[in-house]
Structure formats: structure tokens, C-alpha cells
Structure 1
């Protein structure tokens, strides 16, 4: 999206320093799989990023996203500032009031204490593995939904040199 400068896959919210993907997957470290987004607030607001966040996942399932189950898959927003906390709480309240989902939103709003970058093989996973069944069945439809809903806010990119088309 325009204004997004960097997106890094990683882990946050747990008690083990610098956990591995395998450790996080056990559900025993307390970490959630997350992305850290660096953005230019003059181009895109934190609120707009949250609109995307709440569009591409189900914030009503506790410790679950689709077929993935465990605390590492919880819906969580790790905020950097009190202003971000307030915006996140306001967006959640507005969505609850609108009754978009049948169940209540269970998204946590938690201060960021540490972020650990995922291992190289776990970064850009969808881009590197578009034919992998999980990517085709779970991720590709989310990417299509995102692109369709936020087309006007996407960066223009040169045609990529791969054979996978969404």
C-alpha cells in the first residue's frame, strides 16, 4: 500500500527471547505470529492500516485463524504509542457497534515490549511459495480480497517475473 515502507514477519508478545518459528508453533512461548509495519503517517494512517487488518482476518475467534489453532494465531495489535492504543480501541468499538460479525471481537490491544524478526525462510513466505497448498487455499483468497477492496491505495508495481497470478 502507498505509505507502507516496510513489512517484516516475526513474533511478539511472549516470554522467550528470540524464539524460533518451531518454538512459537508449539504455543508454549506466548508469542503471536505478527508483522511489524513501518509506515509514513503523512501518506497512510494507523487507522487505515487497522481497517486492512480487520478486513483480512477474523477478529472474533480466540486463538485461531482459519485452520490454524493456538495462542500464536491470536488476533492482537501491539501498539507503540498511547495514541495508537486509543485509535485501536476506538476502531474496535466502532466495529463492535456496527455488528459486522455475529460474535464479539476478541482482538487484544497490547503494548509492544519486543519484536523478533522471523527466520529468513519464514519471511515473504507467500511470495516464495505461491503453489504451496496452504498458500493457495488460505492466503491467496485473502490477497485477492485485499487487492480488490484496497486497489485504489495500492502502490503501482512493475509486473513481477513469476508464473503465479492472483
Structure 2
């Protein structure tokens, strides 16, 4: 876990900043009554559904793009360090969590809660805050995922496209010799 945080520090900070900004905007709305929350929930459900739908589609697309990235990584003439593949695996894990979270929220937002007669009006305030908080979290996660993907893609561009021979993710000759020695020893 510590390695994931250290490698993807900028992406995680970007996601946290996004979540904080959105949550701060929600917080500035102030205290609302249950009836106001019910009205706001009714008007915001379509947008929340669209957000979740977009994130589900984007995260599924990102998983498919990671396969392409792996094809480029393994098909290149250069040998990449294990760190690159761990970074791709971390993006896949994070993106899968995002996909599942957005899908669950999408299903939750499709429940016609504002039309239910047996829900006490005071509960709408909590439901409203929970939906806004959860949407800000998945938005931040989406930003973090895209930033992690950007970092990985820019590394591949530098190595494969720009043919940088001194990149930190390339196995140099000394490391290759050490790797050969460990595979030949019984």
C-alpha cells in the first residue's frame, strides 16, 4: 500500500484536491431542511445518474486501454522494470474499485426514493448529503485514475516513442546481467 502511495503521489493528491473542492462546494450550501433536500434530490438525480454512467463507461474504457498499454510495453524492444507493470496493475485495481463504486451508486441513484411515501422528510437531508459526498468521492477517484494513467502513458511515450535510453523504468545492462545470473543459478 505504501508503494502505491509513493508511486502515485501526484495522482492521489489530484484526486483528493478534486474531492475536497467538490465537497467544499457542497458544504457551502449550508444546512438545509428535509423538504428542501427532497426538492434538491429530485432535481439532481438526473445529473448524478449521468455522472455515474459516465464514470462507469470511462473506467471500463480505461481497463481496455490498459490491455493496449501492456501490449505496447511487452512488444517493445526495450526491457521494462517490474515497477512499470506494478504501476499498470495498481491503475487496474484502482480503476476496478472505481468501476464497482460508480455502478453501485448508479443503481442506488435509480431508486425512486423521492417518490416514496413512507420515508420521513427528515431523512432526505442525510440522503442528500450522502449522495453529494459519494459523488464527490467518485469524481476524485476518476481524476486520480486519469492522472495515474497519464503518468504511465507518458513514461511509455518517453521510452518507446522518444527512445529515451536513460529512463528510470528501463532495465540497464548491469541489472540485466544480475537478472541473468539469478535465472541461471539452480
Q: Would you call these one fold, judging by a TM-score over 0.5?
A: no
TM-score range, shorter chain: under 0.3
Larger Rg: 2
**Which of structures 1 and 2 has the larger relative contact order (alpha carbons within 8 angstroms, sep 6+)?**
2
Give 1 or 2: higher strand fraction. Answer: 1
Give 1 or 2: higher helix fraction. Answer: 2
With normalisation by structure 1, the TM-score equals 0.25
With normalisation by structure 2, the TM-score equals 0.23
